[in-house]
Structure 1
Amino acid sequence: MSQIGKPPCDNGVILYGGAAKPCARPSRHWTLVAAVLGSSLAFIDGTVVNVALPAIQRELGATTADAQWIMESYALFLASLLLVGGVLGDRFGRKRIFMLGTGLFTLASIGCSLSTAIAPLIAARAFQGVGAALLVPGSLALISATFPQSERGAAIGTWSGFTGITAAIGPVIGGFLVEHYSWNWAFLVNAPLGVILLVLCAFKVPESRGGEGSGAIDVMGAALATVGLAGVVFAFIEAPSRGWAATPVWMAAVMGVLAFLLFVRVEARSASPMLPLGLFRNRNFAGANVLTLLLYAALGGSLFFLPLNLIQVQGYGATAAGAALLPFIAIMFMLSRWAGGLVDRFGSKLPLVVGPVIAACGFAMFAVPSVASRYWTAFFPAICMLGVGMSITVAPLTATVMNAVGKELAGTASGVNNAVSRTASLLAIAVFGIVLTLTFNHRLSEALATLHAPTELVSSIMGQREKLAGMVVPEGYSDAMTSALKRAVGRSFVAGFRWVMLISAALALLSAISAGIFIQGKMPVRSATLGGPR
């Protein structure tokens, strides 16, 4: 659930993609079906895995760092290769690359379901991420390549509607499979969809490629982005258990920072960069991406830990945890058209200030519940507040990115913003893990000191600290002592969770401030060139 629904600017990738190739109307319809199924694969996986993590942690004896890697290995390759996936489709054929991504994603999903240990599961998730990096941009590019400009609005509406339904039912279905069958089925559910999609593409979807001059692949940029993200993420995830002084940790951090610096240098000099740095000279575009980085870091990082809280601390079943965010999705669905009208009435700046402020209130409200809190009085109001804040933000954010550059660069700009949102979640999950772990360990140590528990019991509990709330209290002790220990573990996790949510609220407020500073007031319908309004 760290990535709920569509990232910002997905619609822009479709609306401002390349010119459509003439094809029969039935081919357009089948292409739209394929695009919906392809996006659904990625959206289902992105929302289901979090619900399955507590069961995976329990059955495979995984630590919290392991759980982070299960999510991060996928997100790492998706975020770093997303822009390259679109270029590969332009050069070698969008249908071909889309099918390659679908096949790899499907095989990796089967590999995940067959994993009996953490290491192969993490490796399979990494291959899933590579497949998704080819699949996600391909599903959007197929629509823009098949539908003429006059019909893309209707295609976007259909695609958005079905992917919204997927975002809503995905966690519930995943939770039901985890709760009543096994976590393995949460991954295996992708397999039949993938097979159907491959058959559909092979026989019904037309091939298309980019025009002249398209298709230059920034191999060095992609490699440096992957190494940079991997180094930084590794350092943040492993530091709580190994310590910052550990050689693998500080070396990974240094390697990541150096790779990022080289990435900026390479992109500035490349004739066909995967990340055109010139786009950021536009004040509105730069401001929109700063906002995206901060707000989606808050959203992705915090919602990674919410299912762990609901299942491991609050005692929810996996199905109930999967359904917990349905109000969020419903609010965004119902308010999306209204929020889009705010841009016409007030411009983008006001909604991009107000929306994140409301979202910040939602994040702060998540810091209130303690152990054994009731959903309708503790979590539901926070979820609704967060939903309203994000609803007010997303449409104006997309409009700002689209309006900041010329039409010929709108597809590139939307792809960059999409990648920024995914990178933000990737980094936030790693960083927030440190905050939660440090707070958990401190509060648990304090609680154990006051319980006067037997030495061997304390040793057993402290030996499982890396599992956080997923630790198992040993049997053979009095009910009173066992209950007190479980309460201490739950309260320690909630203490760390509160800090995560308060930091998320602060990031959301910072995103509102960045909008106030960078985003201009009521903007023209579209600036003519990259150098438009500054």
Structure 2
Amino acid sequence: MRAESSSAARTGAFIAVAVALFCIQVDFFALNLAIPGIAEELDVTASAAQWTLSTYMLAVGCFFIVGGRLGDVFGRRGTLLVGLALFAAGSVGCALAPGLWQLVGARIVQGVGAGFVFPVSVAVISNAFPDETRARALGAAFGVANIGTALGPFVGGGFTEGPGWRWIFWLLAPLSTLALLVAIAYVPDSRDTSAPRQLDLTACFTLVCSLAALTLAVERGSAWGWDHARALTLFGVAVLMGWLFLVRERLASHPLVDLRPFRNVPYVLVTDMGSVANMGYGVTVFVATLYLQGVRGLSPLMAGIVFLAPALLVALSGPLGARLATRMRPTAVMALAGGIAGTGMIALSHVTAWWLYVPVFAWCGLGLGLGWTFSSVATQQVVPPARAGEASGVLLTFLVTLGAIALAGAAATITAMTPQRPAEDAYDAILRFGGAVILLASVVVMAVRHRLVVHGKAPPLSMYAPWPPADVGGGNRETRP
């Protein structure tokens, strides 16, 4: 069901969602540069302080699908409010935490809140705005979120060197509270009226257990050792619970995740390309942070300033995607993003001069930002509005889980290569490999799409081309890549 929205309601929904996504993205990327400061103040090792990142990512990844489906079944407005309240409370808890484990607990609360907010936010915009302005609104909201993504390292480095890492959370607490108050006042409600007002708790349990085990194994595998009993046990639990989840979904009359979209080629292509782009984004930010501080010798604050270069292009990628959506099919936009990102990552591994490094870094930001941002916009174009939250939750789960795997792989590669070779060589090798993977994914997407066009199962690249052709039955919103 789509709520009828007034102009004020649409504006309020946009502000609430944009501010909420900004806070989540700042939080996601700011704490990396604060880990040494946290370890020093709380008198723990840097490895122990790393749990503040691991548990947050674990909580976020586990609750994307659950949060999205909660919104579809019980109402997106209520789910958004609960998520924002949890995120704001968790931010205050982080700022006041007297020790590491209190901080870790507050980070879990933040992560659960973010897991509710992110997929529901996409659905709130999709259902508040009409078809002709939806892509533009989503693009603008993700443009604001991307500013948070790019500014995260700058905020983290600046506060860590200045008043202290706790001020990261003192910044997030009032901003997320503002988003909560605006959402209370303006966000209209919507939900999937075809679904009964009940949630498959068995599916929720098996899914959360599977994702939690997988995320924890990936996050801590490099520290424990990939053949360590704890890592192998967690991988085994992830596989077992994932299998039980799939069995339950096939038997349930109202499944938590509708598996039918995975027979939708456009949805699969968009999800795959978005996941690859997000993996590249996380790895590039991680490698660039190490490079700027370890090889270039920059302070956290100065490294954050360098990140301002891609910040502008990352922020512009949201509105750019919305504009391209009126001219190109979703899969074509995703492939274009991959082409920009892949060439940028490979080029970044070859340049050292500042006059060239900074603009190439910005070029990477444009392609990678467009890739992960537009994937959320594109999924809303190829699924029914009633299941917008679920589709967004599934996409985001893939993005976060595979992003964590990519980061773990990058860290393991650096650890394996640095005893024999300079760290800079490891960074370059990772960027080149990642760029090649993204370029290959773009080629595969366009090859599949071309085959669909040849067989009359997909429209041409241009949005202005007539569709369907005379000898092919009419397409629908779910089958237009």
Into which bin does the TM-score normalised by the smaller protein fall? 0.7 to 0.9
- Pick the aligned partner of 2:367 from 370, 379, 389: 389
Residue segments in structure 1 that go unaligned for 5+ positions in a row: 1-17, 444-490
Q: Quick check: 1:65–1:238 contact (8 Å CA) kept in 2?
A: no
Residue segments in structure 2 that go unaligned for 5+ positions in a row: 468-473
Look up the match of 1:213.
194
Cα offsets for 1:85-137 (capped at 9, x unmatched): 13323444433332222222122222223345544433322221101112223
Give the alignment of 1:212-361 within 5 angstroms. 212-214=193-195, 215-334=197-316, 347=329, 352-361=334-343
Q: Quick check: 2:93–2:106 contact (8 Å CA) kept in 1?
A: yes
- Report the TM-score when normalising by structure 2: 0.81
Cα distance in 1, alignment partners of residues 47 and 436 from structure 2: 24
Give the alignment of 1:1-20 within 5 angstroms. 18-20=1-3
Q: Quick check: 1:86–1:137 contact (8 Å CA) kept in 2?
A: yes
Cα distance in 2, alignment partners of residues 153 and 123 from structure 1: 37
Q: 1:128 to 1:304 in 2, by over 3 A?
A: farther
Q: Deviation at 1:26? A: 4.1
Cα distance in 2, alignment partners of residues 74 and 367 from structure 1: 30
- Pick the aligned partner of 1:505 from 435, 441, 455: 435
Q: 1:381 to 1:147 in 2, by over 3 A?
A: closer
Cα distance in 1, alignment partners of residues 18 and 333 from structure 2: 29
Look up the match of 1:195.
177
Cα distance in 2, alignment partners of residues 400 and 32 from structure 1: 18
Cα offsets for 1:48-90 (capped at 9, x unmatched): 2223234335555666654654323222222221122133234
Cα distance in 1, alignment partners of residues 302 and 394 from structure 2: 35
Q: 1:245 to 1:511 in 2, by over 3 A?
A: same
Q: Deviation at 1:254? A: 1.1
Q: 1:508 to 1:118 in 2, by over 3 A?
A: farther
Give the alignment of 1:463-478 within 5 angstroms. none
Cα distance in 2, alignment partners of residues 212 and 346 from structure 1: 32
Cα offsets for 1:350-379 (capped at 9, x unmatched): 55445424322322334346xxx66444x4
Look up the match of 2:404.
426
Cα distance in 1, alignment partners of residues 334 and 180 from structure 2: 40
Cα distance in 1, alignment partners of residues 293 and 42 from structure 2: 17
Q: Deviation at 1:412? A: 4.3
Give the alignment of 1:62-101 within 5 angstroms. 65-66=47-48, 68-101=50-83
Q: 1:115 to 1:396 in 2, by over 3 A?
A: closer
Look up the match of 1:466.
none
Q: Deviation at 1:151? A: 6.1
Cα distance in 2, alignment partners of residues 340 and 37 from structure 1: 19
Cα distance in 2, alignment partners of residues 513 and 62 from structure 1: 47
Cα distance in 2, alignment partners of residues 285 and 237 from structure 1: 28
Q: Deviation at 1:515? A: 1.1
Cα distance in 2, alignment partners of residues 317 and 26 from structure 1: 44
Cα distance in 1, alignment partners of residues 279 and 428 from structure 2: 16
Cα distance in 2, alignment partners of residues 249 and 46 from structure 1: 24
Percent identity, aligned pairs only? 25
Look up the match of 1:458.
none
Q: Quick check: 1:340–1:395 contact (8 Å CA) kept in 2?
A: no
Q: 1:224 to 1:504 in 2, by over 3 A?
A: farther
Q: Which piece of structure 1 moves more, 41-50 or 495-504?
A: 495-504
Look up the match of 1:478.
none
Cα distance in 2, alignment partners of residues 200 and 399 from structure 1: 23
Look up the match of 1:110.
92
Q: Quick check: 1:360–1:504 contact (8 Å CA) kept in 2?
A: yes
Cα distance in 2, alignment partners of residues 60 and 493 from structure 1: 29
Q: Quick check: 2:30–2:152 contact (8 Å CA) kept in 1?
A: yes
Q: Does 1:436 find its partner at 2:366? A: no
Q: 1:433 to 1:391 in 2, by over 3 A?
A: closer
What amino acid is the match of 2:86? L
Q: 1:45 to 1:391 in 2, by over 3 A?
A: closer
Q: 1:168 to 1:496 in 2, by over 3 A?
A: closer
Q: 1:95 to 1:19 in 2, by over 3 A?
A: closer
Q: Deviation at 1:211? A: 4.9
Q: Quick check: 2:222–2:408 contact (8 Å CA) kept in 1?
A: no
Cα distance in 2, alignment partners of residues 325 and 32 from structure 1: 26
Cα offsets for 1:183-202 (capped at 9, x unmatched): 12112211222333444445
Cα distance in 2, alignment partners of residues 285 and 380 from structure 1: 34
Q: 1:345 to 1:47 in 2, by over 3 A?
A: same
Runs of 4+ in 1 over 6 A off after TM superposition: none
Q: Deviation at 1:383? A: 1.0
What amino acid is the match of 2:403? S
Q: Quick check: 2:249–2:255 contact (8 Å CA) kept in 1?
A: yes
Structure 2 counterpart SS, 1:519:
helix
What amino acid is the match of 2:265? R
**What is the count of residue pairs matched by the alignment?**
463
What amino acid is the match of 2:411? G
Q: 1:261 to 1:513 in 2, by over 3 A?
A: farther
Cα offsets for 1:158-182 (capped at 9, x unmatched): 5355445444545434432222111
Q: 1:272 to 1:396 in 2, by over 3 A?
A: same
Q: Deviation at 1:45? A: 1.1
- Report the TM-score when normalising by structure 1: 0.74
Q: Quick check: 1:364–1:501 contact (8 Å CA) kept in 2?
A: yes
Cα distance in 1, alignment partners of residues 124 and 68 from structure 2: 10
Structure 2 counterpart SS, 1:134:
helix
Structure 1 counterpart SS, 2:242:
helix
